[in-house]
Structure 1
Amino acid sequence: MTPVDPAPAPPPGTDPRTPPSAAAGARPATPEELLPDELLAAFRERAAGYDRENRFFDEDFADLVRIGYPLMLVPREHGGLGFGLQQAAAAQRRLAAAAPATALGINMHHVLVGVGHTLRLRGDARAGGIFEAAAAGEIFAFGISEAGNDAVLFDAQTVAAPDPDGYRVTGTKIFTSLSPVWTRLIVHARDDTDPEAPLVFGFVHRDEPGIEVLDDWDTMGMRASQSRTTVLSAVRLPADRVLTRTPAGPNPDPVVWGIFGCFELLLAAVYTGIADRAVELAAETARTRRSRAGNGPYSDDADIRWQIAEAAILRDGVELQLRQLTADVDALGSADAPDHGPRWFLHFSGVKHRATGTARRVVDLAMRASGGAQYSRGRELERLYRDVLAGIYHPSDSESVHAAVAKALLGPVGG
């Protein structure tokens, strides 16, 4: 295997390692200020081309870096925008309504900065290193998923071999979003020399020897995310880049808790953004299409009105759940912090499960309400229909969600 070079340079005129003007001067205070309508229009216009050409969202990425988007969850004292998780989810929802694959790709960076956010709320000093790296322009990616590992975060096939300086990590990670540009990859791997806490979580750097990023992303949807396979061959993971060690299986370790929670909630935000756009497109189409039989716009047709209303009702239910649970996370460490206890994990996975399932149903209703023209390649709803299907495959999948809830209610099988 041939080691990869450091992440390719961004488009001319940008440098992700240079703190953006947003960090140095006036900083946007809301998702709407950070992502104005005219910028979202540019993202939406590019999305079709990225999908058609199966290429990374280079221009979108340059714009996101320019406005300080990777620094949303970095506190202001560290040079960031100081958003909470609720604001970050709202911004991701807004971005996903314009460019779902762009939102899904950058989501993985926000998950790791979000871990820093939750650690900071708990008073955990490990947050500082994450914020410092993000403020310096490092781009985080998610190296957790492995083919055949249905335990996902709670076990690993990748091996962490002890080394005098820390570990050497060997294994294959799949669905590594931001593959063309990431500089820091969170990985988990097993060190079975410690049976009490065999799982090692830490960051590998892109410029370390032994990293190969395959050019193997050619999927039905979410094509611009370029979530390629990453092969690790005895890659150095020094002790000072290890975030935590944990037992296998679900556990309340703050790093694992933060990864799980931020991943599920921000993912739910992306798919809720797709639902937002599907409802909007369905309404726009109904107002412009005319019925020959009804001699008027389809917006007057009772069946069409019911389908679009049903889509909006479904979307609204997930929106309220997402707002509440992100607010609950933002309240960590305060007098208002809720005590969900072990149900935190069920809440996180439940919202993700409902958001992705609801988004698929909403897009389906929008397609039904908008006529056969939307089935043609190049139509925005046709692309959303393909993009939204990716929600089936993100952890936690429906099987694991139902198994976890059943265990909470009924106890373990045979117990």
Structure 2
Amino acid sequence: MALDPAVVLPDALIEEIRSRAPGYDERNEFFQEDFDALVAAGYLKAFVPEGDGGLGAGLADVVRLQRRLAQAAPATALAVNMHLVWTGVAKVLADRGDSSLAFVLEEAAAGEVFAFGVSEAGNDSVLFDSVTEAVPRPDGGYAFTGTKVFTSLAPAWTRMGTFGKDTAGEEPQLVWGFIRRDEPGWRHLDDWNTLGMRASQSRTTVLEGATARADRIVRKLPVGPNPDLLVFGIFSVFETLLAAVYTGVAERGLTLAVDAAHRRRSHRTGRSYSQDPDIRWQIAELGLAVDGMIPQLESVAADIDGLADRGAAWFRALSGLKHRATETAKSVVDGAMRVGGGSGYFRGSELERLYRDVLAGLYHPSDPESAHATVATNLLGPIEEV
């Protein structure tokens, strides 16, 4: 049975979270009170089976939850996404008979918090190569040295999933493993001073020989595109949950636009702007855009839960979903700013904050170039060698 988002995230909690968002943004501060409240609500155990104390959610459930949370506080939702990605990947693998990330759900059930230490500045190969060095240790573990960017939950994570390249053998290998916060070899930079999504505190993480133990090395893969289930799991959950957050941002933008149209009145006619034909047309356009996002998002999440086989079309669907969600959200918030009038331009307004937050969607993979290349390859085949 599907989870009810209003039960997991009741109205009172959502309003508390919404009320704190402006202060976190203004102070460039981690969302600690939100984090504590979400932990208390069992939110970080969404993918953990009910028998182990979790919510027993599927991806479609968590998509609905993240849409609701993002409507209250986009930066809080985006940061929590990173923990939910790893626990969601563990569930995707388990559903397909792969227990290699079973410990992720076990540790999440015990209260551990997972960070996503994957992104590297300038690495446009994303999951298929790494500029981080992975050095094998005699005990079977690996020591990672490199720099990871946009590592959300910086003040709170206790485990970090990461990867690097082992060049010691005949062929280089990409090594995936998990490091611990309570062990040496890593540090954060206090460099998160951004335009938007400020409460996520997605600081740069410098790995200086951070060690993943042998029993926490989960994959060794060749460099380059790979059909391994871990790659599918990361790509599918990451893109879908990102799309959920930005869909929530678009939904909130639409709500604020509607509220502004009812609230503002024309000096010339004395009537509410909700009666103005031009404003009505603009809001209808925003509504049409939001309505078009949700079915695609729900369909993709349901197919992942249902083990649907889309074959090579999966990567087209997932990169396209993320691209459409972030671009549509940006367009909807821009439209809400136009409908809302000049008050939305002032610091401290919710629309002004949404306008800054939504721009972060430009920088998450898949970027527009990658998304279009993926779709073109699926439809037209690869570019022929000259």
Which band: TM-score by shorter chain? over 0.9
1:213-232 correspondence runs (5 A): 213-232=188-207
Match of 2:272 in 1: 297
CA shift in 2, pair 1:266/1:195, >3 Å? farther
Residues 251-262 of structure 1 mapped to structure 2, 5 A cutoff: 251-262=226-237
Give the Cα separation in 1 of the matches to 2:292 and 2:171. 41
Alignment of 1:103 with 2:77, yes or no, is yes
Give the alignment of 1:172-321 within 5 angstroms. 172-194=147-169, 198-321=173-296
2:353 is the alignment partner of 1:379: no
Q: Write out aligned runs for 1:365-376 (5 A).
A: 365-376=335-346
Letter in 2 for 1:148: G
SS of the residue corresponding to residue 377 of structure 1 reads coil
Please report how far the alpha carbon of residue 196 of structure 1 lies from its aligned counterpart in structure 2 after TM superposition: 5.1
Q: Matched residues in 2 for 1:69 and 1:147: separation? A: 31
Question: Residue 172 of structure 1 contacts residue 232 of structure 1 at CA under 8 Å; is this kept in 2?
Answer: yes
Matches within 5 A, 1:42-191: 42-165=16-139, 166-191=141-166
Do the aligned partners of 2:74 and 2:245 also contact (CA within 8 Å) in 1? Answer: yes
Question: What is the aligned-residue RMSD (CA, Å)?
Answer: 1.4
The answer to whether residue 301 in structure 2 is matched with residue 326 in structure 1 is: yes
What is aligned with 1:395?
365
Mapped partners of 2:350, 2:265: distance in 1: 20
Identical-residue share of aligned pairs (%): 57
Specify the SS of the correspondent of 1:290. coil
Q: Which amino acid aligns with 1:141?
A: A
CA positional deviation for 1:197: 6.2
Structure 2 distance, partners of 1:370, 1:347, is: 34
1:142–1:186 Cα contact (<8 Å) kept: yes
Per-residue CA deviation, residues 100-129 of structure 1 (Å, 9 max, x unaligned), is 000000000000000111011102122421
The letter for the 1-side match of 2:375 is V
Contact 2:319 2:374 in 1 (8 A): no
> 1:404: Cα distance to partner?
1.6
TM-score, length basis structure 2: 0.97
Residue by residue over 1:222-258, the C-alpha shift from the partner in whole angstroms, topping out at 9 and shown as x without a partner, is 0000000000011112221011111222222111111
Range with greater deviation from structure 2 (207-216 or 218-227): 207-216
- CA separation in 2, counterparts of 1:193 and 1:409? 38
Q: Distance in 2 between matches of 1:136 and 1:401?
A: 37
Aligned residues: 384
Question: What does residue 314 of structure 2 align with?
Answer: 344
- For residue 343 of structure 1, what is the amino acid of its counterpart? A
Query: How far apart, CA to CA, are the structure 2 residues paired with 1:108 and 1:50?
Result: 19
1:38 is the counterpart of 2:15: no
> Does the 8 Å CA contact 2:250/2:333 hold for their aligned counterparts?
yes
Contact 1:359 1:388 in 2 (8 A): yes
Amino acid at match of 1:256: V
CA displacement at 1:322 relative to structure 2 = 0.3
Q: Which whole-Å CA distance do the structure 2 matches of 1:253 and 1:413 have between them?
A: 23
In the alignment, which residue of structure 2 is the partner of 1:359?
Answer: 329
Secondary structure of the structure 2 residue equivalent to 1:134: helix
Partner SS for 1:272 = helix
The CA distance in 2 between the partners of 1:263 and 1:125, in whole Å, is 19
- Where does the alignment leave 5 or more consecutive residues of structure 1 unmatched? 1-27, 333-337
> Corresponding residue for 1:10?
none
User: Hey, what's the Cα distance between the residues in 2 that align with 1:390 and 1:89?
Assistant: 19
Which amino acid in 2 is paired with 1:69? Y
CA contact (8 A) 2:3 2:61 kept: no
**Cα drift, residue 161 of structure 1:** 0.8
- C-alpha distance in structure 2 between counterparts of 1:382 and 1:251, whole Å: 41
Opposite residue 38 of structure 1, the aligned amino acid is: A
Cα distance in 2 for residues equivalent to 1:196 and 1:344: 28
**Structure 1 residue 414: Cα displacement:** 3.4
Q: CA deviation at 1:77?
A: 2.1
Q: Is the 8 A contact 1:212 1:231 kept in 2?
A: yes
Q: Do the aligned residues in 1 keep the contact of 2:177 with 2:218 (CA within 8 Å)?
A: yes
Structure 1 contact 197–245 (Cα < 8 Å) conserved: no
Residue pair 1:318, 1:354 contacting (<8 A) in 2 also: yes
Distance in 2 of aligned mates of 1:71 and 1:149: 31
Q: CA contact under 8 A between 2:189 and 2:203: conserved in structure 1?
A: yes
- Please name the residue that 1:3 is paired with: none
